[in-house]
Structure 1
Amino acid sequence: MPTPNPEALAFLLSRRSRPAKTLAMPVPDQAMVETLLTAAARTPDHGKLEPWRFVVLTKPALTRLAALVPARGAALGIAPDRIAKAQDQYAMADLAVAVVSSPKASDKIPPVEQVYSAGAVCLALVNAALAAGWGANWLSGWPSHDRDFIRDGLGLSDHESIAGLIHIGTETSAPPDRPRPDLAAITTWMTA
């Protein structure tokens, strides 16, 4: 019989991301961020390839990235309201971690499984931050998918992409829970 961990299960059954716009100072210090990254790095990783890496974005880096958004948005023909929203995501943040999907050459592990692992790192980082008492949210947005922005702003290589931007800070207001999926509608039991 397995040994249950009721506290961990209760946390997972009630976890709720916090909207990034409701996160404020203080943010975790470097030691805490390293603890959260250590927890996230325990994500399943077929072949032990570590097909992801972290870029910790402090306030000065986020301010610099916010300043890059308008020119990239204009070059791409993005609507002004979407440019402003994307710029605010960086300008209003105090700390974020870019989880970089960085697939490795492998005869055994297909690239898609490596990308899935990077996505799992994003969720693990959000959950680690929440479990440690911080507010956290996983975002992306059009700049994180723009090759020029991620190359020039974050120094990513051509084979890399952003799996997610994990915003972490102090929760200023608890969001209401949102409707959850109807488990019966999304579950199939195969018994034979």
Structure 2
Amino acid sequence: MNQSALSLLLTRASCGLLQAPAPDGEILEHILQAGLRAPDHGHLQPFQFLLAEGEGLNRLGTLLAESAKADGAADDVIERAAQLPLRAPLVITVVAKVTPHNKVPEFEQHLSAGCAVMAMQMAAQAQGFGGIWRSGPLMYSRRLHELLGLNERDQIVGFLYLGTPATSLRIPSFANSADFVRRI
């Protein structure tokens, strides 16, 4: 049994307080490769990873604010949207790149991209970095999808914020699996 892999899975924790440095080079490549190993029915590779770091964080913030404005958000929400990417030194927008397929429905392709987010977060944690998978109403904004050059069928499945933890990770307490299991 691979105890270190099991330990990683059992101690998975999100970290919302992130600072520089962000993963880069070979470490970032490992994170991206982990995402590409997500379960993928039909070998469609239904994902795309949009990386924002440095000035790209400000560009992403501008796109988020413009999308919030186009979607009719209040002024304070628009202002906050512009600042969202600045909470980490690296933000990966993970997109389900949907391909019409007679055996692989869109939903499965969305799930595959979601698995990629989890795999990348775990790969970051395994290499000493922290991360948090964020969502929110802007990930459903068709205006944001347009601004990012995505197709009509594509769907953002999350924003993966990565960096160095600015605080110690709080490992969630174990839940009683019996509360979530029903044998059939």
* TM-score normalised according to structure 2 size: 0.90
CA separation of 1:7/1:178 partners in 2, compared to 1, >3 Å: closer, same or farther? closer
> Shift in Å at residue 17 of structure 1?
1.3
Aligned to 2:183: 189
Aligned to 1:68: 63
Q: Is the 8 A contact 2:92 2:161 kept in 1?
A: yes
| Distance in 2 of aligned mates of 1:87 and 1:134 | 24
Moved over 6 A (4+): none
Which among 5, 10, 23 is matched to residue 7 of structure 2?
Answer: 10
Which among 161, 171, 177 is matched to residue 167 of structure 1?
Answer: 161
Matches within 5 A, 1:38-187: 38-152=33-147, 154-179=148-173, 181-187=175-181
Aligned length: 184
What value does the CA root-mean-square deviation take over the aligned residues?
Answer: 1.8
Q: Is the 8 A contact 1:59 1:93 kept in 2?
A: no
Unpaired runs of 5+ in structure 2? none
**Percent of aligned pairs with the same amino acid:** 33
> Shift in Å at residue 180 of structure 1?
5.1
Q: Is the 8 A contact 1:100 1:160 kept in 2?
A: yes
* TM-score normalised according to structure 1 size: 0.87
CA separation of 1:25/1:76 partners in 2, compared to 1, >3 Å: closer, same or farther? same
CA separation of 1:63/1:177 partners in 2, compared to 1, >3 Å: closer, same or farther? same
Matches within 5 A, 1:23-34: 23-34=18-29
Determine which structure has more spread, i.e. the larger CA radius of gyration: 1
The aligned amino acid for 2:6 is: L
CA separation of 1:47/1:71 partners in 2, compared to 1, >3 Å: closer, same or farther? closer
Q: Is the 8 A contact 1:52 1:101 kept in 2?
A: yes
Unpaired runs of 5+ in structure 1? none
> Shift in Å at residue 81 of structure 1?
4.3
